[in-house]
Amino acid sequence: MADKYQNIGDGIYDHVGGPENVSKLIHCMTRVRMTIRDDSEVDIEGLKKVPGVLGVAQEDTLQVIVGPGVVNKVAQAMVDEVGVDLGEPFPDSAKKGTSYASGKSAVEAKAAEVHAAQKAKLKQTWWRAALKHISSIFIPLIPAFVGAGLISGIAGILANMQTAGDLGASWTTFITVLKVINGGLFTYLNIYVGINAAKEFKATPGLGGIIAGLIYLRCDCARHNSQYFYRLALSCRFWRDYRGTVCRMGNVLRRASIPQVHS
């Protein structure tokens, strides 16, 4: 089965100008999403004819539809061939065969170059760049959202059946486990978002997760400050009383040491 996915990935590479024309590759539930360096080397019609490809969409990224359950294997095979991970930049030296555009006529190449230049101008708008960053951060989480939703639905159905008396008490542990798995995503969602955001902006994923995890820290600053000032006030009062006591004892000793002069 692995050869099937590799063949689909090779067919996609053959019609997008090879790995050297791809700067980054990710996937969602059904689509392989590629950031293309030179759109003139992409053969849309040829991509649609690749066995296993269900369709092609071209927006801010080139999206090749291969279907659920297949897309993750195809995308993984494609990045493994280059030697990077999903979402990581492709090296400029990535090669696979010859470029697709090498056999095009001069007229087709010129027309594609003009089209790519016009599309590049559209990509430079700030809102397109913002949407691109947002999609790169949240699209990898879509499978997790779908899985957590399915698990939540199953847990809810089983809980209702247990309430109605159709299931016994022995199902309680299993239902609880499903709810814990479902809550795991949404409870620590900001950590996942922090890791993906760090990858998107070329930072360290671990630091992104740590910074996002700071949200979970409880800061009882007001309570701690009030306790600090209360202890400080008690300390000042102690030293004030202690100083007064020492002064009184000093006066007593001083009077006792002064010889009395009797007339």
pLDDT higher at 93 or 256 = 93
d(C-alpha 249, C-alpha 254), whole Å:
9
Q: Establish how many alpha carbons lie within 13 A of residue 20's alpha carbon, considering only the half-sphere containing its beta carbon.
A: 12
pLDDT higher at 138 or 246 = 138
Q: So what's the pLDDT on residue 100?
A: 35
Q: Sorting pLDDT into bands at 50, 70 and 90, what band is 208?
A: confident
- In tens, the pLDDT along 27-46 reads 988 999 999 988 888 888 98
SS3 label, residue 154:
helix
Q: Sorting pLDDT into bands at 50, 70 and 90, what band is 164?
A: confident
pTM for this predicted structure: 0.44
Q: So what's the pLDDT on residue 66?
A: 92
- In tens, the pLDDT along 94-117 reads 555 433 334 435 555 666 676 666
Q: Reply yes or no on whether the pLDDT at 179 is more than 80.
A: yes
pLDDT mean across residues, the chain: 76
Would you state the structure tokens that stand for residue 174, as one six-digit string? 């299993």
Taking residues 112-136, what's their average pLDDT? 71
DSSP secondary structure, 105-173, as one string: -HHHHHHHHHHHHHHHHHHTSHHHHHHHHHHHHHGGGHHHHHHHHHHHHHHHHHHHHHHHTSS-GGGHH
Q: What proportion of the chain, given as a percentage, has pLDDT over 90?
A: 10
Q: Reply yes or no on whether the pLDDT at 123 is more than 50.
A: yes
Contacts of 116 (CB under 8 A, 6+ apart): 38, 39, 40
Taking residues 80-88, what's their average pLDDT? 85
Is 236 among the catalytic positions? no
- In tens, the pLDDT along 6-23 reads 889 899 999 998 888 999
CA nearest to 101, candidates 6, 55, 36: 36
Q: Sorting pLDDT into bands at 50, 70 and 90, what band is 124?
A: low
Q: Reply yes or no on whether the pLDDT at 57 is more than 80.
A: yes
Dmax over CA atoms of the chain, in Å, equals 134
d(C-alpha 8, C-alpha 202), whole Å:
29
Q: For domain 2-124, is the CATH number 3.30.1360.60?
A: yes
- In tens, the pLDDT along 137-161 reads 888 888 888 888 888 899 889 989 9
Q: Using an 8 Å Cβ cutoff, are 61 and 34 in contact?
A: yes
Please pick, among 28, 219, 221, 236, the residue that the annotation labels catalytic: 28
